[in-house]
Amino acid sequence: MQKFDFKTKLPFFKKLGNDERILLNDNIITKKFPKGFHVHSGAEDCSGLIIVKSGQLRAFMVSNSGKELTLYRLLEDDICLFSASCILKQINFDIYVDAEKESQCYLIPTNIFQIISEKNQYVSKFINDLMSKRFSEVMWLIEHTLFKSFDERLASFLIDQSSIENSTNLKITHEEIANHIGSAREVVSRMLKHFQTEGILNIKRGNIEIINMNQLFLTAKI
Amino acid sequence: MQKFDFKTKLPFFKKLGNDERILLNDNIITKKFPKGFHVHSGAEDCSGLIIVKSGQLRAFMVSNSGKELTLYRLLEDDICLFSASCILKQINFDIYVDAEKESQCYLIPTNIFQIISEKNQYVSKFINDLMSKRFSEVMWLIEHTLFKSFDERLASFLIDQSSIENSTNLKITHEEIANHIGSAREVVSRMLKHFQTEGILNIKRGNIEIINMNQLFLTAKI
């Protein structure tokens, strides 16, 4: 994998001292995760700061009964803070991260990130900014899941998915959709059938083809 | 109101320089909010860091359709970060704060807090900790509202409310409960009636008396 471009990828890098730059440079690790790999599993797991070079990671929560809900996606250049959540003392929830596609990542190990964050105010500010960003995404999700009807949420998810995949032909199962939006497979299947009846999409095996994107946008009320 | 005890109330105070301490001391303001007062209204409003001396504030979100959801309560010594959210660049959601009871508070104006937070790493860390804490509360709320059934949520709310009020006799309307848990008044009334039939509580005008706390705990599955 090519050399890590610290200056563009890490906003705080310019503000680091020489020693800190050397420390980072000597300790950054490259990682390759196959599709489906469990990159991070809750608070027990604290590998470090993960920066996505290519591919796609999914951050999600899991309820006591095993139900999943996608919190946000991490694409190229996105940084995963919660894989280093052990250095954030007041965080007491578990986030899970899986590779949705084969992904190449850089990892700054927790102990190295901790040394730098304790010494340098700009790293603290960077953590603040990143946490604010994730907090905002989660607040959007609350508004969305609590105050929107199920057809709006499902339509919205399909639009997002189509944008991420850059295709109107989505290779995704009803079970996977249910795990993304914190619902049950049966409920998803029923609504997809309803969308099909309305001429919005065609359901095939393990595949959903969006045929009327305008109508999908109207349903999502975006 | 008595002099503000900076050392015990603000964890970062010990780490401030003399100039910063004087700046804080000269600029902290005392505020008295009557019950029902709108202390903070979304991102447009950015008065500063609020520290509760006595009383009770409620932080909540409001959906596009006007539905409310309580995010957390601020009691004695609690600090409200989002009333200074304009200094957090990546925060792009609106939080509202009302006084649930007559409250006495201290306010560190935004410009003063900003000066100190930009200079001092311990203030950045303090912001990190406080944001992590609120983030954790909101994540708990998601888990609770999404993955729990409505009777569990309502029972849980009544237990919390009884603990905050230190009474089994709750002076609260069905409308107010609905606003706390992001539901509709009719749905709350129906479930409360069901709880009454089960001998858990007595409904009176503007008043709910819990008569079987054990059964309420069983219903909440806590």
pLDDT of chain B, 222 residues: tens digit per residue: 567 888 888 989 999 999 999 999 999 999 999 999 999 998 778 889 999 999 999 999 988 778 888 999 999 999 999 898 888 888 888 899 999 999 999 999 999 999 999 888 899 889 999 999 999 999 888 888 878 888 999 999 999 999 998 999 999 999 999 999 988 898 999 999 999 989 999 998 889 999 999 999 999 987
Contact B133/A at CB under 8 A:
yes
Give dist(CA B5, CA B21) in Å, integer.
12
Strand order in the sheet with A201-204: A169-170, A207-210, A201-204
Strand order in the sheet with A29-33: A29-33, A103-109, A48-54, A79-80
Cβ separation B69–A135 shorter than 8 A: no
Among A121, A152, A187, pick the best mutation site for testing chain B contact (most B Cβ within 10 A).
A121
Chain-wide mean pLDDT for chain A?
90
Q: Provide the 10 A C-beta neighbour count for residue A171.
A: 12
pTM of this structure: 0.82
Residue type, A63: S
Among B72, B140, B145, B146, pick the best mutation site for testing chain A contact (most A Cβ within 10 A).
B146
Residue type, B75: L
Q: Are B98 and B36 spatial neighbours (Cβ–Cβ below 8 Å)?
A: yes
- Its sign, for the CA torsion A51, A130, A85, A124, is positive
Q: Is A214 exposed, middle or buried (0-12, 13-18, 19+ CB in 10 A)?
A: exposed
Give dist(CA B6, CA A214) in Å, integer.
57
Cβ separation A147–B89 shorter than 8 A: no
Contact A14/B at CB under 8 A:
no
Give dist(CA B58, CA B71) in Å, integer.
8
Q: Which member of B121, B141, B142 has the closest CB to residue A121?
A: B121
Task: Name the band, by pLDDT with cuts 50, 70 and 90, for residue A112.
Answer: very high
Contact A87/B at CB under 8 A:
no
Q: Which member of A67, A93, A120 has the closest CB to residue B139?
A: A93
Residue A2 has pLDDT above 70, yes or no: no
Q: Are B79 and B51 spatial neighbours (Cβ–Cβ below 8 Å)?
A: yes
Q: Which member of B90, B91, B124 has the closest CB to residue A121?
A: B124
Please give the pLDDT value at position B2: 65
Q: Are B93 and B61 spatial neighbours (Cβ–Cβ below 8 Å)?
A: yes
Cβ separation A67–B141 shorter than 8 A: no
| DSSP codes of every residue in A26-46 | HH-EEEEE-TT-EEEESTT--
Contact A144/B at CB under 8 A:
no
Cβ separation A131–B130 shorter than 8 A: no
Give dist(CA A174, CA A184) in Å, integer.
9
Give dist(CA A72, CA A77) in Å, integer.
14
Cβ separation A63–B147 shorter than 8 A: yes
Cβ separation A67–B136 shorter than 8 A: no
Q: Taking CA B60 as the corner, what is the angle to CA A158 and CA B125, rounded to the nearest 5 degrees?
A: 90
Residue B161 half-sphere exposure toward CB, CA atoms < 13 A:
24
Q: Give the chain A residue nearest B142 (alpha carbons).
A: A142
Ranges assigned E (strand) in A122-175: 169-170
Give dist(CA A47, CA A85) in Å, integer.
9
Among A132, A181, A221, pick the best mutation site for testing chain B contact (most B Cβ within 10 A).
A132
Q: Give the chain B residue nearest A125 (alpha carbons).
A: B124
Taking only the tens place, the pLDDT of each residue in A121-168 is 899 889 999 999 999 999 888 888 878 888 999 999 999 999 998 999
Please give the pLDDT value at position A44: 77
Q: Are A79 and A139 spatial neighbours (Cβ–Cβ below 8 Å)?
A: no
Q: Is B60 left (phi over 0), alpha (psi -120 to 50) or beta?
A: beta
* Residues of chain B contacting A17 with CB distance shorter than 8 Å: none
Q: Provide the 10 A C-beta neighbour count for residue B168.
A: 15
| Measured distance between the N- and C-terminal CA atoms of chain B, rounded to whole angstroms | 39
- What is the complex's ipTM, to 2 decimals? 0.81
Contact B142/A at CB under 8 A:
yes
* Residues of chain B contacting A142 with CB distance shorter than 8 Å: 61, 69, 138, 141-142, 145
Task: Name the band, by pLDDT with cuts 50, 70 and 90, for residue A169.
Answer: very high
Q: Is A149 exposed, middle or buried (0-12, 13-18, 19+ CB in 10 A)?
A: exposed
Q: Are B212 and B196 spatial neighbours (Cβ–Cβ below 8 Å)?
A: no
Cβ separation B129–A61 shorter than 8 A: no
Cβ separation A138–B143 shorter than 8 A: no
Structure token digits, residue B132: 């992590």
* Residues of chain A contacting B138 with CB distance shorter than 8 Å: 135, 138-139, 142
Element holding A121 (H helix, E strand): helix A121-147
Cβ separation B128–A127 shorter than 8 A: yes
Give dist(CA B21, CA B27) in Å, integer.
10
Cβ separation B146–A147 shorter than 8 A: no
- The pairs formed by A159-165 with CB atoms below 8 angstroms and a separation of 24 or more are A159/A213, A159/A216, A159/A217, A159/A220, A159/A222, A162/A210, A162/A213, A164/A56, A164/A73, A164/A75
Structure token digits, residue A185: 């497979």
Please give the pLDDT value at position B147: 80
The four Cα atoms B180, B176, B217, B148 give a dihedral, to 10 degrees, of -40
Cβ separation A142–B147 shorter than 8 A: no
